[in-house]
A and B are shown apart, each in its own frame.
Chain A
């Protein structure tokens, strides 16, 4: 691999679709980016980024455990993430209330145990260390058509969940006490969301690698929320950013032969920085405008 770059955008893009493995990678990346961006929007809204990070850690023992047991990798990914989601959901509350100190300790513990187990499975499996790198930092090589179909299925399920439960979840996330008073099933929604998050994370990890899930899950959503406070627009923008980051990242990785994880995280981080800067600038402009108005009125 490592084809020449003719510096002709149309031709470059065409060349990306020559090899079937690349077509699979782009299809899988697109599916994952879409699902991750929507899920991530709720993650950012609910401030559960640390939980998302730990869930992604769990896909590591899941995958290496599956390799050890000779089971298909995706089964390992999904099983481990769903179990971890359950553990975090049950462990992070004292009685009825969220307890931040305890929650972060629980999440940290779950995550570290996940990494440790994954390392154990991998060394029992026989220390195929190149495997370690692609598990942790992602690889777009060798994604099969079957895998693409699976990812599509998971993405569809996730989007259906948000289509049905999105509105109540939003209400609960914005004002838990009020929602509880109106009789919303707060606890159930919370657990359901974590489970869906587990699925989304497991799917994302297969492309970005376990350690870099954040780039597609949280960064696009966080950037979108800096640009707009509106809900529908925000989710749409988050999806657009996620897709762009994925496509450009895959393309760059294809041409330079450096890890896709590096490009995707760098692009995502760049977009986030731009969004923060524009947010700050917008505030300053607004304040300046008000100042000018006051001065005009005084003089």
Chain B
């Protein structure tokens, strides 16, 4: 199996993407920002299709769109981020724009059979080019390194923002940086498993880890491990059973782990202050 080029490329690109996704995902779940993460992945879809419609490199569209969107979200601030109504409405519009670009692309000279929609939405980890895989490995690796460097202060700022702010941590910069990392990861993940399934490497392993242990560092490691296992096992599964698309196989493994975490004995919920808000109506202005 490893003799196949497309499998090697899939694993080279997939490994850092999975590790980064799992670790970022744990913070996303702790910060109740899964919805914001999802928005970024949808933005990736629209960015890729916009690039396709005007005929430039898809990867440029992906990264440009997600990073701009992340900075925008960060500028709007925590208050807006927990405003799921505003995010949701924006998200629908972004997807609507994507639909328009899809129309435009399908009607342009090189457009055609709708395969691009499927590829962007559901990924094609077996269809990565060597340069795709190298880029993913380098950027994914960089995301992991940066996250490892800011993990401690970020965790502090996430679990107890007030105390963290009082002790002089740059909370706003930390959350903007975190969102930028998620944005980069969203762009990478979109190429591998697709814009719609990116949440599978973000929310699912992290959700399972969050449920299994209250120890944040252990959970971080577990979350990355689960994501990695999902990706590898998913790739193997899809290779052995060709009628299953690799993206589906990866999600299927992740979901199995998640279900296990749910039926496994429950830990005590002691990561306090993790819900922060959730309740109460926040509004801009």
- Is B a genuine binding partner of A? yes
Residues of A within 8 A of B (CB): 44, 47, 49-50, 52-53, 57, 91, 94, 98-102, 104-109, 111-113, 115-117, 119-120, 123-124, 129-130, 132-133, 136-138, 209, 211-215, 218-219, 222, 258-259, 261-266, 268-269, 272, 276, 279-280, 283
Write the nearest CB–CB distance from B270 to chain A, whole angstroms: 12
* CB-CB nearest 9 A-B residue pairs: A265-B96, A105-B207, A108-B203, A100-B278, A214-B92, A116-B251, A269-B93, A129-B114, A280-B285
Task: Identify which of B10-18, B32-40, B128-136, B170-178 touches chain A.
Answer: B32-40
Q: Give CA–CA (A213, B210) in the complex, Å.
A: 30
Task: Identify which of B58-66, B67-75, B98-106, B137-145 touches chain A.
Answer: B98-106
Q: Is the CB of B85 within 8 A of A44?
A: yes
Q: Which residues of A contact B34 (CB under 8 A)?
A: 50, 104-105, 107-108
Q: Is the CB of B203 within 8 A of A109?
A: yes
Residue in B113, B274, B275 with the greatest tally of chain A CB atoms within 10 Å: B275
Also in contact, A53 and B88, with CB within 8 A (given A99-B269, A259-B102): yes
Task: Closest B residue to A272 by CB, please name it.
Answer: B89
Write the nearest CB–CB distance from B132 to chain A, whole angstroms: 20
Q: Is the CB of B100 within 8 A of A258?
A: yes
Q: Is the CB of A266 within 8 A of B207?
A: no
Task: Closest A residue to B37 by CB, please name it.
Answer: A108
Q: Give CA–CA (A6, B117) in the complex, Å.
A: 34
Also in contact, A262 and B252, with CB within 8 A (given A109-B203, A109-B207, A222-B85): no
Write the nearest CB–CB distance from A121 to chain B, whole angstroms: 9
Q: Which residues of B contact A262 (CB under 8 A)?
A: 96-97, 99-100, 103
Majority secondary structure, A binding face? helix
Q: Which residues of A contact B163 (CB under 8 A)?
A: none
| Cβ-based interface call for B2 (8 A) | no
Q: Give CA–CA (A133, B86) in the complex, Å.
A: 25
- The 0/1 profile, CB within 8 Å of A marked 1, for residues 22-46 of chain B is 0000000110101100100000000
Q: Is the CB of A222 within 8 A of B89?
A: yes
Q: Which residues of A contact B102 (CB under 8 A)?
A: 133, 137, 259
- Inter-chain contact count A-B, CB under 8 Å? 192
- The 0/1 profile, CB within 8 Å of A marked 1, for residues 204-221 of chain B is 101100110000000000
Q: Is the CB of B197 within 8 A of A129?
A: no
Q: Give CA–CA (A171, B224) in the complex, Å.
A: 42
Known contacts A129-B114, A269-B90; 8 additional CB pairs below 8 A are A47-B84, A50-B34, A102-B210, A106-B207, A109-B207, A111-B199, A137-B95, A258-B100
Q: Which residues of B contact A106 (CB under 8 A)?
A: 207
Q: Is the CB of B203 within 8 A of A112?
A: yes
Q: Give CA–CA (A120, B258) in the complex, Å.
A: 19
Write the nearest CB–CB distance from A106 to chain B, whole angstroms: 7
Q: Give CA–CA (A219, B254) in the complex, Å.
A: 32
Write the nearest CB–CB distance from A90 to chain B, whole angstroms: 10
| Cβ-based interface call for B47 (8 A) | no
Q: Which residues of A contact B204 (CB under 8 A)?
A: 105, 108-109, 112
Q: Is the CB of A117 within 8 A of B248?
A: yes
Task: Closest A residue to B243 by CB, please name it.
Answer: A124
Write the nearest CB–CB distance from A175 to chain B, whole angstroms: 11
Write the nearest CB–CB distance from A47 to chain B, whole angstroms: 6
Q: Which residues of B contact A283 (CB under 8 A)?
A: 285
Write the nearest CB–CB distance from B173 to chain A, whole angstroms: 23
Could you name 22 residue pairs across A and B whose Cβ atoms are closer than 8 Å?
Answer: A47-B281, A49-B84, A49-B88, A50-B35, A50-B88, A94-B269, A98-B278, A100-B32, A102-B207, A102-B210, A105-B203, A113-B251, A116-B197, A132-B114, A133-B117, A218-B89, A219-B92, A261-B96, A262-B97, A262-B99, A262-B103, A269-B96
Also in contact, A49 and B85, with CB within 8 A (given A113-B255, A268-B93, A269-B93): yes
Q: Which residues of B contact A133 (CB under 8 A)?
A: 102, 114, 117
